[in-house]
Chains A and B, each alone.
Chain A
Amino acid sequence: MLVQSQNVRKTFRAGRLLRRGSGVVALDDVSFSLAEGESLGVVGESGSGKSTLLRTILRLTPYDTGSITFDGKEIAAMDGDSLRRFRQRVQPVFQNPYSTFNPRFSVGASIALGFDLLGNVVKSAIPGEVARLLDDVGLDPDLARSLPHQLSGGQRQRAAIARALAVQPDLLLLDEPTSALDVSVQAQVLNLFKDLQVRYGFSMILVTHDLPVVTFMCDRLLVMKSGAIVERGPTEAVVRAPESEYTRELVSSAL
Protein backbone atom coordinates (compact mmCIF):
# COMPACT_ATOMS: atom_id res chain seq x y z
CA MET A 1 0.00 0.00 0.00
CA LEU A 2 1.34 3.45 -0.93
CA VAL A 3 -0.84 5.32 1.57
CA GLN A 4 -2.57 3.82 4.55
CA SER A 5 -4.71 5.87 6.89
CA GLN A 6 -6.01 4.37 10.13
CA ASN A 7 -8.57 5.92 12.48
CA VAL A 8 -7.37 9.46 11.78
CA ARG A 9 -9.07 12.17 13.78
CA LYS A 10 -8.69 15.91 13.57
CA THR A 11 -10.65 18.51 15.52
CA PHE A 12 -10.23 22.21 14.91
CA ARG A 13 -10.73 23.99 18.17
CA ALA A 14 -12.52 27.30 18.04
CA GLY A 15 -10.99 30.38 19.69
CA ARG A 16 -9.66 29.62 23.13
CA LEU A 17 -11.60 32.40 24.81
CA LEU A 18 -15.01 31.84 23.27
CA ARG A 19 -16.84 28.53 23.15
CA ARG A 20 -14.23 26.75 25.19
CA GLY A 21 -14.14 23.02 24.59
CA SER A 22 -16.24 23.01 21.48
CA GLY A 23 -14.71 22.49 18.07
CA VAL A 24 -15.24 21.36 14.53
CA VAL A 25 -14.58 17.69 13.82
CA ALA A 26 -12.85 17.79 10.44
CA LEU A 27 -11.78 14.15 10.33
CA ASP A 28 -13.74 11.53 12.23
CA ASP A 29 -12.13 8.10 12.35
CA VAL A 30 -10.94 8.11 8.75
CA SER A 31 -9.40 4.87 7.48
CA PHE A 32 -8.57 4.06 3.89
CA SER A 33 -5.72 2.84 1.76
CA LEU A 34 -4.34 3.61 -1.67
CA ALA A 35 -2.46 1.13 -3.79
CA GLU A 36 0.36 2.08 -6.14
CA GLY A 37 -0.91 3.35 -9.50
CA GLU A 38 -4.44 3.78 -8.21
CA SER A 39 -6.71 6.83 -8.58
CA LEU A 40 -8.86 7.47 -5.57
CA GLY A 41 -11.65 10.03 -5.58
CA VAL A 42 -12.85 11.79 -2.43
CA VAL A 43 -16.26 13.41 -2.81
CA GLY A 44 -18.21 15.52 -0.36
CA GLU A 45 -19.78 18.90 0.16
CA SER A 46 -17.73 21.84 1.41
CA GLY A 47 -16.90 21.39 5.07
CA SER A 48 -16.97 17.61 4.81
CA GLY A 49 -13.28 17.39 5.71
CA LYS A 50 -12.08 16.26 2.30
CA SER A 51 -9.56 19.09 1.94
CA THR A 52 -8.36 18.56 5.51
CA LEU A 53 -7.76 14.91 4.62
CA LEU A 54 -5.52 16.00 1.72
CA ARG A 55 -3.66 18.46 3.90
CA THR A 56 -2.97 15.86 6.57
CA ILE A 57 -1.54 13.49 3.94
CA LEU A 58 0.63 16.39 2.69
CA ARG A 59 1.72 16.97 6.29
CA LEU A 60 0.53 20.57 6.09
CA THR A 61 -2.06 20.00 8.84
CA PRO A 62 -1.17 17.70 11.74
CA TYR A 63 -3.77 15.13 12.81
CA ASP A 64 -4.72 14.49 16.43
CA THR A 65 -4.86 10.71 16.67
CA GLY A 66 -4.57 7.72 14.37
CA SER A 67 -1.86 7.07 11.82
CA ILE A 68 -1.07 7.83 8.22
CA THR A 69 1.72 5.90 6.57
CA PHE A 70 3.36 6.56 3.23
CA ASP A 71 5.21 3.59 1.77
CA GLY A 72 4.99 1.94 5.18
CA LYS A 73 6.42 4.86 7.17
CA GLU A 74 4.44 7.01 9.59
CA ILE A 75 4.43 10.54 8.12
CA ALA A 76 4.09 12.33 11.46
CA ALA A 77 7.37 10.73 12.59
CA MET A 78 9.37 11.83 9.55
CA ASP A 79 12.11 14.43 9.87
CA GLY A 80 15.33 15.48 8.16
CA ASP A 81 16.19 13.27 5.20
CA SER A 82 13.11 11.06 5.40
CA LEU A 83 10.87 14.15 5.39
CA ARG A 84 12.72 15.62 2.42
CA ARG A 85 12.31 12.40 0.46
CA PHE A 86 8.64 12.21 1.42
CA ARG A 87 8.11 15.83 0.30
CA GLN A 88 9.42 15.07 -3.15
CA ARG A 89 7.44 11.87 -3.56
CA VAL A 90 4.10 13.52 -2.71
CA GLN A 91 3.05 16.63 -4.62
CA PRO A 92 -0.10 18.76 -4.45
CA VAL A 93 -1.99 20.63 -7.14
CA PHE A 94 -4.16 23.25 -5.50
CA GLN A 95 -7.56 24.59 -6.38
CA ASN A 96 -6.78 28.21 -7.04
CA PRO A 97 -4.44 28.62 -10.01
CA TYR A 98 -4.14 32.36 -9.35
CA SER A 99 -2.05 32.15 -6.18
CA THR A 100 -0.28 28.87 -6.81
CA PHE A 101 2.83 30.64 -8.14
CA ASN A 102 4.97 33.26 -6.44
CA PRO A 103 4.05 36.44 -8.38
CA ARG A 104 7.66 37.66 -8.28
CA PHE A 105 9.23 34.76 -10.19
CA SER A 106 8.80 33.59 -13.75
CA VAL A 107 6.88 30.36 -14.21
CA GLY A 108 10.05 28.71 -15.48
CA ALA A 109 12.00 29.70 -12.36
CA SER A 110 9.31 28.19 -10.13
CA ILE A 111 9.35 24.92 -12.07
CA ALA A 112 13.17 24.86 -12.12
CA LEU A 113 13.18 24.94 -8.32
CA GLY A 114 12.08 21.31 -8.21
CA PHE A 115 15.00 20.13 -10.37
CA ASP A 116 17.34 22.25 -8.28
CA LEU A 117 16.09 20.63 -5.04
CA LEU A 118 16.16 17.11 -6.43
CA GLY A 119 19.69 17.67 -7.73
CA ASN A 120 19.35 14.96 -10.38
CA VAL A 121 19.95 17.30 -13.31
CA VAL A 122 23.06 19.44 -13.91
CA LYS A 123 22.37 23.16 -13.64
CA SER A 124 22.94 23.86 -17.33
CA ALA A 125 20.39 21.21 -18.34
CA ILE A 126 17.57 22.58 -16.15
CA PRO A 127 16.12 25.06 -18.72
CA GLY A 128 15.85 22.21 -21.23
CA GLU A 129 14.12 19.99 -18.67
CA VAL A 130 11.70 22.83 -17.81
CA ALA A 131 10.90 23.23 -21.51
CA ARG A 132 10.32 19.48 -21.86
CA LEU A 133 7.94 19.49 -18.87
CA LEU A 134 6.01 22.49 -20.22
CA ASP A 135 5.68 20.66 -23.51
CA ASP A 136 4.46 17.56 -21.65
CA VAL A 137 1.65 19.50 -20.00
CA GLY A 138 0.68 21.07 -23.31
CA LEU A 139 2.21 24.52 -22.88
CA ASP A 140 4.47 26.50 -25.19
CA PRO A 141 8.00 26.20 -23.68
CA ASP A 142 8.46 29.93 -24.31
CA LEU A 143 5.98 30.56 -21.48
CA ALA A 144 8.79 29.71 -19.03
CA ARG A 145 9.84 33.35 -19.16
CA SER A 146 6.34 34.66 -18.36
CA LEU A 147 5.21 35.89 -14.99
CA PRO A 148 2.28 34.00 -13.48
CA HIS A 149 -0.21 36.85 -13.99
CA GLN A 150 0.47 36.81 -17.72
CA LEU A 151 -0.95 33.28 -18.00
CA SER A 152 -4.58 32.23 -18.12
CA GLY A 153 -6.11 30.13 -15.34
CA GLY A 154 -5.90 26.96 -17.41
CA GLN A 155 -2.29 27.65 -18.41
CA ARG A 156 -1.35 28.29 -14.79
CA GLN A 157 -2.93 25.02 -13.68
CA ARG A 158 -0.97 23.19 -16.37
CA ALA A 159 2.19 24.94 -15.19
CA ALA A 160 1.37 23.92 -11.60
CA ILE A 161 1.18 20.30 -12.77
CA ALA A 162 4.57 20.74 -14.46
CA ARG A 163 6.03 22.08 -11.21
CA ALA A 164 4.69 19.08 -9.30
CA LEU A 165 6.05 16.62 -11.89
CA ALA A 166 9.54 18.16 -11.78
CA VAL A 167 10.38 16.19 -8.63
CA GLN A 168 9.04 12.93 -10.14
CA PRO A 169 6.41 12.27 -7.47
CA ASP A 170 4.84 8.88 -6.78
CA LEU A 171 1.63 10.44 -5.52
CA LEU A 172 -0.26 13.49 -6.77
CA LEU A 173 -2.83 15.06 -4.45
CA LEU A 174 -5.35 17.15 -6.34
CA ASP A 175 -7.56 19.55 -4.41
CA GLU A 176 -10.43 20.58 -6.70
CA PRO A 177 -7.90 21.07 -9.50
CA THR A 178 -10.49 22.14 -12.08
CA SER A 179 -13.24 23.85 -10.11
CA ALA A 180 -11.80 27.34 -10.68
CA LEU A 181 -11.52 26.79 -14.45
CA ASP A 182 -13.94 27.30 -17.33
CA VAL A 183 -15.97 24.22 -18.21
CA SER A 184 -14.27 23.85 -21.59
CA VAL A 185 -10.82 24.04 -19.96
CA GLN A 186 -11.83 21.62 -17.17
CA ALA A 187 -12.15 18.68 -19.55
CA GLN A 188 -8.77 19.44 -21.13
CA VAL A 189 -7.02 19.53 -17.77
CA LEU A 190 -8.70 16.31 -16.60
CA ASN A 191 -7.66 14.56 -19.81
CA LEU A 192 -4.15 15.87 -19.25
CA PHE A 193 -4.04 14.27 -15.79
CA LYS A 194 -5.11 10.94 -17.29
CA ASP A 195 -2.49 11.09 -20.05
CA LEU A 196 0.25 12.11 -17.64
CA GLN A 197 -0.67 9.32 -15.25
CA VAL A 198 -0.12 6.79 -18.00
CA ARG A 199 3.23 8.34 -18.96
CA TYR A 200 4.61 9.16 -15.52
CA GLY A 201 2.91 6.37 -13.56
CA PHE A 202 1.96 8.30 -10.42
CA SER A 203 -0.93 7.49 -8.10
CA MET A 204 -3.62 10.09 -7.49
CA ILE A 205 -6.00 11.21 -4.81
CA LEU A 206 -8.55 13.61 -6.24
CA VAL A 207 -10.69 15.68 -3.90
CA THR A 208 -13.77 17.34 -5.38
CA HIS A 209 -17.41 18.19 -4.82
CA ASP A 210 -18.03 17.31 -8.45
CA LEU A 211 -19.18 13.69 -8.80
CA PRO A 212 -18.89 13.53 -12.62
CA VAL A 213 -15.19 14.52 -12.35
CA VAL A 214 -14.59 11.55 -10.05
CA THR A 215 -16.49 9.09 -12.22
CA PHE A 216 -14.36 10.24 -15.15
CA MET A 217 -11.05 10.09 -13.33
CA CYS A 218 -11.08 7.55 -10.52
CA ASP A 219 -11.27 3.78 -10.08
CA ARG A 220 -12.32 3.99 -6.48
CA LEU A 221 -14.34 6.46 -4.46
CA LEU A 222 -14.77 7.66 -0.90
CA VAL A 223 -17.81 9.73 0.05
CA MET A 224 -17.29 12.02 3.04
CA LYS A 225 -19.78 13.84 5.22
CA SER A 226 -19.03 15.79 8.40
CA GLY A 227 -15.51 14.40 8.56
CA ALA A 228 -16.49 10.74 8.27
CA ILE A 229 -16.41 8.34 5.34
CA VAL A 230 -20.05 7.38 4.71
CA GLU A 231 -19.51 5.22 1.66
CA ARG A 232 -16.68 3.64 -0.29
CA GLY A 233 -16.12 1.30 -3.19
CA PRO A 234 -15.42 1.08 -6.92
CA THR A 235 -16.71 4.27 -8.53
CA GLU A 236 -19.08 2.59 -10.95
CA ALA A 237 -20.67 0.40 -8.28
CA VAL A 238 -21.18 3.29 -5.89
CA VAL A 239 -22.71 5.53 -8.53
CA ARG A 240 -24.97 2.75 -9.85
CA ALA A 241 -26.19 1.55 -6.47
CA PRO A 242 -25.45 4.05 -3.70
CA GLU A 243 -26.01 2.60 -0.23
CA SER A 244 -26.17 5.65 2.01
CA GLU A 245 -28.86 8.29 1.83
CA TYR A 246 -26.25 11.03 1.41
CA THR A 247 -24.61 9.33 -1.58
CA ARG A 248 -28.02 8.84 -3.17
CA GLU A 249 -28.61 12.59 -2.90
CA LEU A 250 -25.19 13.31 -4.40
CA VAL A 251 -25.79 10.96 -7.31
CA SER A 252 -29.27 12.22 -8.05
CA SER A 253 -28.19 15.87 -7.92
CA ALA A 254 -25.30 15.16 -10.29
CA LEU A 255 -27.48 13.51 -12.92
Chain B
Amino acid sequence: MTILRRVNWRRYGLVVATLPAVLLVFLASAFAPVISPYDPYALDVLVMLEGPSAGHLLGTDELGRDILSRVIQASRTSIVVGLVAVLIGASGGTLIGMLAAWFGGAVDAVLMRFMDIVFCFPAILLAVILMANLGTSVLNAMLAIGIIFIPGFARLTRAVAQTVQRQPFLEAAICLGVPGRRIVTREILPNVIGPVLVEAAVAFSYAVLLESALSFLGLGAQPPEPSWGNMINTGRGFIDQAPWISLAPGAALFLTVFSFNLLGDGLRDVLDPKLRG
Protein backbone atom coordinates (compact mmCIF):
# COMPACT_ATOMS: atom_id res chain seq x y z
CA MET B 1 0.00 0.00 0.00
CA THR B 2 2.98 2.31 0.52
CA ILE B 3 3.58 2.38 -3.22
CA LEU B 4 0.05 3.77 -3.69
CA ARG B 5 0.86 6.60 -1.35
CA ARG B 6 4.12 7.42 -3.12
CA VAL B 7 2.43 7.93 -6.50
CA ASN B 8 1.85 11.58 -7.37
CA TRP B 9 -1.90 11.27 -7.90
CA ARG B 10 -2.35 14.87 -8.91
CA ARG B 11 -0.10 14.11 -11.86
CA TYR B 12 -1.00 10.52 -12.76
CA GLY B 13 -4.51 10.12 -11.34
CA LEU B 14 -6.53 10.76 -14.47
CA VAL B 15 -4.32 8.67 -16.75
CA VAL B 16 -4.43 5.76 -14.30
CA ALA B 17 -8.23 6.07 -14.09
CA THR B 18 -8.68 6.00 -17.87
CA LEU B 19 -6.10 3.27 -18.41
CA PRO B 20 -8.48 0.29 -17.94
CA ALA B 21 -10.88 1.54 -20.61
CA VAL B 22 -8.07 2.49 -23.01
CA LEU B 23 -6.36 -0.87 -22.50
CA LEU B 24 -9.66 -2.70 -22.95
CA VAL B 25 -10.18 -1.08 -26.35
CA PHE B 26 -6.61 -1.71 -27.51
CA LEU B 27 -6.44 -5.31 -26.22
CA ALA B 28 -9.87 -6.15 -27.65
CA SER B 29 -8.80 -5.01 -31.10
CA ALA B 30 -5.37 -6.64 -30.86
CA PHE B 31 -6.75 -10.04 -29.83
CA ALA B 32 -10.06 -9.84 -31.68
CA PRO B 33 -9.87 -13.30 -33.32
CA VAL B 34 -8.89 -14.93 -30.01
CA ILE B 35 -11.53 -13.41 -27.75
CA SER B 36 -14.46 -13.28 -30.17
CA PRO B 37 -16.96 -15.97 -29.17
CA TYR B 38 -18.14 -16.40 -32.78
CA ASP B 39 -16.92 -15.71 -36.30
CA PRO B 40 -18.08 -12.09 -36.84
CA TYR B 41 -19.02 -12.92 -40.45
CA ALA B 42 -20.84 -16.24 -39.77
CA LEU B 43 -24.56 -16.14 -40.59
CA ASP B 44 -27.01 -18.15 -38.52
CA VAL B 45 -30.60 -17.66 -39.65
CA LEU B 46 -31.92 -19.71 -36.77
CA VAL B 47 -31.02 -16.98 -34.24
CA MET B 48 -31.89 -13.83 -36.25
CA LEU B 49 -32.62 -10.70 -34.17
CA GLU B 50 -32.26 -12.58 -30.90
CA GLY B 51 -31.91 -10.54 -27.72
CA PRO B 52 -28.97 -10.81 -25.35
CA SER B 53 -28.68 -14.28 -23.86
CA ALA B 54 -26.09 -16.63 -22.44
CA GLY B 55 -25.33 -17.89 -25.95
CA HIS B 56 -25.03 -14.44 -27.52
CA LEU B 57 -24.12 -11.97 -24.77
CA LEU B 58 -25.11 -8.89 -26.80
CA GLY B 59 -27.66 -10.61 -29.02
CA THR B 60 -27.61 -11.14 -32.78
CA ASP B 61 -28.35 -9.00 -35.84
CA GLU B 62 -30.79 -9.40 -38.71
CA LEU B 63 -28.59 -12.09 -40.30
CA GLY B 64 -28.01 -13.95 -37.04
CA ARG B 65 -24.40 -12.72 -36.64
CA ASP B 66 -23.09 -12.38 -33.07
CA ILE B 67 -23.12 -8.68 -32.11
CA LEU B 68 -20.35 -8.99 -29.49
CA SER B 69 -18.01 -10.60 -32.01
CA ARG B 70 -18.81 -7.92 -34.57
CA VAL B 71 -18.31 -5.08 -32.04
CA ILE B 72 -14.90 -6.55 -31.16
CA GLN B 73 -13.97 -7.02 -34.80
CA ALA B 74 -15.12 -3.47 -35.61
CA SER B 75 -12.85 -2.02 -32.91
CA ARG B 76 -9.91 -2.96 -35.17
CA THR B 77 -11.15 -0.64 -37.92
CA SER B 78 -11.75 2.17 -35.44
CA ILE B 79 -8.35 1.85 -33.77
CA VAL B 80 -6.39 1.60 -37.01
CA VAL B 81 -8.25 4.52 -38.59
CA GLY B 82 -7.79 6.58 -35.42
CA LEU B 83 -4.07 5.86 -35.12
CA VAL B 84 -3.20 6.40 -38.77
CA ALA B 85 -5.35 9.54 -39.07
CA VAL B 86 -3.81 11.06 -35.94
CA LEU B 87 -0.32 10.13 -37.18
CA ILE B 88 -0.98 11.90 -40.50
CA GLY B 89 -2.57 14.91 -38.84
CA ALA B 90 -0.04 15.29 -36.02
CA SER B 91 3.10 14.82 -38.11
CA GLY B 92 1.87 16.98 -40.99
CA GLY B 93 0.45 19.66 -38.71
CA THR B 94 3.47 19.81 -36.42
CA LEU B 95 5.84 20.14 -39.37
CA ILE B 96 3.78 22.92 -40.97
CA GLY B 97 3.26 24.73 -37.66
CA MET B 98 6.97 24.62 -36.77
CA LEU B 99 7.98 25.87 -40.22
CA ALA B 100 5.44 28.71 -40.04
CA ALA B 101 6.56 29.79 -36.58
CA TRP B 102 10.30 29.49 -37.21
CA PHE B 103 10.50 31.23 -40.58
CA GLY B 104 7.61 33.65 -40.01
CA GLY B 105 6.86 36.34 -42.59
CA ALA B 106 5.81 35.15 -46.03
CA VAL B 107 6.34 31.43 -45.27
CA ASP B 108 4.07 31.78 -42.24
CA ALA B 109 1.43 33.72 -44.18
CA VAL B 110 1.27 31.29 -47.12
CA LEU B 111 1.23 28.13 -44.97
CA MET B 112 -1.35 29.39 -42.50
CA ARG B 113 -3.69 30.87 -45.14
CA PHE B 114 -3.59 27.46 -46.83
CA MET B 115 -4.44 25.87 -43.48
CA ASP B 116 -7.30 28.35 -43.08
CA ILE B 117 -8.71 27.19 -46.41
CA VAL B 118 -8.55 23.53 -45.39
CA PHE B 119 -10.05 24.50 -42.01
CA CYS B 120 -13.03 26.17 -43.75
CA PHE B 121 -14.46 22.87 -44.92
CA PRO B 122 -16.68 21.04 -42.45
CA ALA B 123 -14.87 17.82 -41.60
CA ILE B 124 -17.57 15.54 -42.96
CA LEU B 125 -17.87 17.53 -46.19
CA LEU B 126 -14.12 17.41 -46.84
CA ALA B 127 -14.16 13.67 -46.19
CA VAL B 128 -17.08 13.22 -48.58
CA ILE B 129 -15.29 15.25 -51.29
CA LEU B 130 -12.11 13.22 -50.85
CA MET B 131 -14.01 9.94 -50.89
CA ALA B 132 -15.91 10.98 -53.99
CA ASN B 133 -12.59 11.45 -55.77
CA LEU B 134 -10.59 8.62 -54.25
CA GLY B 135 -13.36 6.07 -53.80
CA THR B 136 -14.83 4.71 -50.61
CA SER B 137 -12.50 2.55 -48.57
CA VAL B 138 -11.14 2.44 -45.05
CA LEU B 139 -7.76 3.61 -46.37
CA ASN B 140 -9.31 6.72 -47.90
CA ALA B 141 -11.26 7.34 -44.71
CA MET B 142 -7.98 7.42 -42.78
CA LEU B 143 -6.45 9.78 -45.32
CA ALA B 144 -9.48 12.09 -45.31
CA ILE B 145 -9.65 12.24 -41.50
CA GLY B 146 -5.88 12.71 -41.26
CA ILE B 147 -5.93 15.65 -43.67
CA ILE B 148 -8.78 17.23 -41.74
CA PHE B 149 -6.62 17.13 -38.58
CA ILE B 150 -3.60 18.86 -40.14
CA PRO B 151 -4.81 22.49 -39.74
CA GLY B 152 -5.71 21.98 -36.07
CA PHE B 153 -2.28 20.54 -35.24
CA ALA B 154 -0.58 23.20 -37.40
CA ARG B 155 -2.30 26.05 -35.56
CA LEU B 156 -1.63 24.52 -32.16
CA THR B 157 2.04 23.90 -32.95
CA ARG B 158 2.52 27.36 -34.43
CA ALA B 159 0.89 29.06 -31.43
CA VAL B 160 2.97 27.10 -28.91
CA ALA B 161 6.18 27.53 -30.93
CA GLN B 162 5.61 31.28 -31.25
CA THR B 163 5.04 31.56 -27.51
CA VAL B 164 8.23 29.60 -26.84
CA GLN B 165 10.18 31.71 -29.32
CA ARG B 166 9.33 34.86 -27.38
CA GLN B 167 10.53 33.41 -24.08
CA PRO B 168 13.74 34.75 -22.54
CA PHE B 169 15.14 31.22 -22.38
CA LEU B 170 15.04 31.05 -26.15
CA GLU B 171 16.81 34.38 -26.50
CA ALA B 172 19.32 33.16 -23.94
CA ALA B 173 19.95 30.14 -26.19
CA ILE B 174 20.40 32.40 -29.23
CA CYS B 175 22.83 34.54 -27.24
CA LEU B 176 24.78 31.43 -26.26
CA GLY B 177 25.22 30.79 -29.98
CA VAL B 178 23.17 27.59 -30.11
CA PRO B 179 22.77 26.70 -33.83
CA GLY B 180 19.30 27.21 -35.32
CA ARG B 181 18.58 23.54 -35.92
CA ARG B 182 19.49 22.71 -32.33
CA ILE B 183 17.28 25.52 -31.02
CA VAL B 184 14.34 24.04 -32.91
CA THR B 185 14.94 20.47 -31.76
CA ARG B 186 16.18 21.14 -28.23
CA GLU B 187 14.36 24.25 -27.07
CA ILE B 188 11.16 24.47 -29.10
CA LEU B 189 10.16 20.90 -30.03
CA PRO B 190 10.18 19.47 -26.45
CA ASN B 191 7.81 22.27 -25.44
CA VAL B 192 5.56 21.58 -28.44
CA ILE B 193 5.40 17.77 -28.02
CA GLY B 194 3.31 17.94 -24.84
CA PRO B 195 0.38 19.94 -26.22
CA VAL B 196 0.57 17.91 -29.47
CA LEU B 197 0.25 14.64 -27.51
CA VAL B 198 -2.73 15.99 -25.57
CA GLU B 199 -4.32 17.12 -28.82
CA ALA B 200 -3.50 13.72 -30.39
CA ALA B 201 -5.45 11.84 -27.70
CA VAL B 202 -8.48 14.07 -28.23
CA ALA B 203 -8.05 13.90 -32.02
CA PHE B 204 -7.93 10.11 -31.77
CA SER B 205 -11.36 10.03 -30.14
CA TYR B 206 -12.65 12.46 -32.75
CA ALA B 207 -11.18 10.30 -35.53
CA VAL B 208 -12.99 7.26 -34.18
CA LEU B 209 -16.20 9.27 -34.08
CA LEU B 210 -15.66 10.59 -37.63
CA GLU B 211 -14.88 7.13 -38.97
CA SER B 212 -18.14 5.89 -37.45
CA ALA B 213 -19.99 8.83 -38.98
CA LEU B 214 -18.48 8.08 -42.40
CA SER B 215 -19.32 4.38 -42.07
CA PHE B 216 -22.80 5.30 -40.91
CA LEU B 217 -23.16 7.25 -44.16
CA GLY B 218 -21.76 4.27 -46.06
CA LEU B 219 -18.46 5.99 -46.85
CA GLY B 220 -16.14 4.03 -44.59
CA ALA B 221 -15.91 0.32 -44.00
CA GLN B 222 -18.08 -1.54 -46.51
CA PRO B 223 -20.36 -4.43 -45.48
CA PRO B 224 -19.91 -7.20 -44.57
CA GLU B 225 -16.84 -5.76 -42.83
CA PRO B 226 -18.19 -4.55 -39.48
CA SER B 227 -17.58 -1.07 -38.18
CA TRP B 228 -19.37 0.65 -35.32
CA GLY B 229 -20.82 3.21 -37.74
CA ASN B 230 -22.31 0.79 -40.23
CA MET B 231 -23.59 -1.45 -37.40
CA ILE B 232 -25.45 1.52 -35.91
CA ASN B 233 -26.82 2.31 -39.35
CA THR B 234 -27.99 -1.26 -39.88
CA GLY B 235 -29.63 -1.28 -36.46
CA ARG B 236 -31.67 1.78 -37.34
CA GLY B 237 -34.10 -0.36 -39.32
CA PHE B 238 -34.64 -2.70 -36.37
CA ILE B 239 -34.59 -0.17 -33.55
CA ASP B 240 -38.05 -1.29 -32.29
CA GLN B 241 -37.55 -5.06 -32.36
CA ALA B 242 -33.79 -5.27 -31.74
CA PRO B 243 -32.33 -2.08 -30.22
CA TRP B 244 -29.16 -3.97 -29.17
CA ILE B 245 -27.90 -3.97 -32.78
CA SER B 246 -27.34 -0.21 -32.52
CA LEU B 247 -26.89 0.10 -28.79
CA ALA B 248 -23.92 -2.27 -28.50
CA PRO B 249 -21.67 -0.54 -31.06
CA GLY B 250 -22.98 2.81 -29.79
CA ALA B 251 -21.85 1.96 -26.28
CA ALA B 252 -18.44 0.83 -27.57
CA LEU B 253 -18.10 4.10 -29.46
CA PHE B 254 -19.10 6.11 -26.40
CA LEU B 255 -16.65 4.27 -24.16
CA THR B 256 -13.78 4.80 -26.61
CA VAL B 257 -14.45 8.47 -27.30
CA PHE B 258 -15.05 9.27 -23.65
CA SER B 259 -11.97 7.49 -22.34
CA PHE B 260 -9.63 8.97 -24.96
CA ASN B 261 -10.93 12.46 -24.23
CA LEU B 262 -10.17 11.90 -20.56
CA LEU B 263 -6.80 10.42 -21.50
CA GLY B 264 -6.03 13.72 -23.25
CA ASP B 265 -6.75 15.64 -20.05
CA GLY B 266 -4.71 13.11 -18.09
CA LEU B 267 -1.73 13.44 -20.44
CA ARG B 268 -1.81 17.19 -19.94
CA ASP B 269 -1.37 16.64 -16.21
CA VAL B 270 1.45 14.14 -16.73
CA LEU B 271 3.33 16.42 -19.11
CA ASP B 272 2.89 19.56 -17.03
CA PRO B 273 6.32 20.10 -15.47
CA LYS B 274 4.69 22.13 -12.69
CA LEU B 275 2.95 18.99 -11.38
CA ARG B 276 6.24 17.10 -11.05
CA GLY B 277 6.93 16.15 -7.45
Contact = CB atoms under 8 A, between A and B. Distances in A.
Interface of A: 58, 60, 83-84, 87-88, 90-92, 94-96, 99-104, 110, 113-114, 117, 147, 149, 160, 163, 167
Given A87-B176, A94-B168, A94-B172, 4 more contacts: A100-B172, A113-B173, A117-B178, A160-B172
A58 B176 CA distance: 10
Interface string B189-211: 01100000000000000000000
Contact of A113 (B178, B190, B273, B276): B178
B274 A92 contact: no
Contacts of B133: none
B107 interface: no
A99 B169 contact: yes
Interface in B148-191: 167-169, 171-178, 187, 190-191
Given A94-B168, A102-B187, A88 B176 contact: yes
Contacts of B168: 94-96, 99-100
Contact of A147 (B187, B190, B276): B276
A83 B273 contact: no
B71 to A, nearest CB: 41
Given A100-B168, A101-B169, A147 B273 contact: yes
B243 to A, nearest CB: 50
A60 B175 contact: yes
20 contacts: A87-B176, A88-B176, A90-B175, A91-B175, A94-B172, A96-B168, A99-B167, A100-B168, A100-B172, A104-B190, A104-B191, A110-B169, A113-B176, A113-B178, A114-B176, A117-B177, A147-B276, A160-B172, A163-B172, A163-B176
Nearest to B191: A104
A58 B178 contact: no
Interface of B: 167-169, 171-178, 187, 190-191, 273-274, 276
Given A101-B169, A102-B191, A104-B191, A149 B175 contact: no
Q: Is the interface of B mostly helix, strand, loop or mixed?
A: helix
B276 to A, nearest CB: 7
Contacts of A90: 175
B204 to A, nearest CB: 24
Given A147-B273, A147-B276, A149-B274, A100 B176 contact: no
B273 A92 contact: no
Kindly name the residue among A95, A103, A117 whose own CB sees the greatest number of chain B CB atoms within 10 A: A103
A87 B172 CA distance: 10
Contacts of B274: 103, 149
Nearest to B273: A103
Contact of B174 (A60, A102, A103, A104): A60
A149 B273 contact: yes
Nearest to B188: A102
A167 B176 contact: yes
A167 B176 CA distance: 8
Nearest to B166: A99
A94 B171 contact: yes
Kindly name the residue among A99, A102, A163 whose own CB sees the greatest number of chain B CB atoms within 10 A: A102
Contacts of B177: 83-84, 87-88, 117, 167
Contacts of A147: 273, 276
B167 to A, nearest CB: 5
Contacts of A87: 174-177
A22 B57 CA distance: 75
A110 B170 CA distance: 11
Contacts of A117: 176-178
Contact of B175 (A92, A102, A103): A92
8 A-B pairs closest in CB distance: A87-B177, A94-B168, A102-B169, A100-B168, A84-B177, A104-B190, A103-B273, A99-B167
A108 to B, nearest CB: 15
A167 B187 CA distance: 19
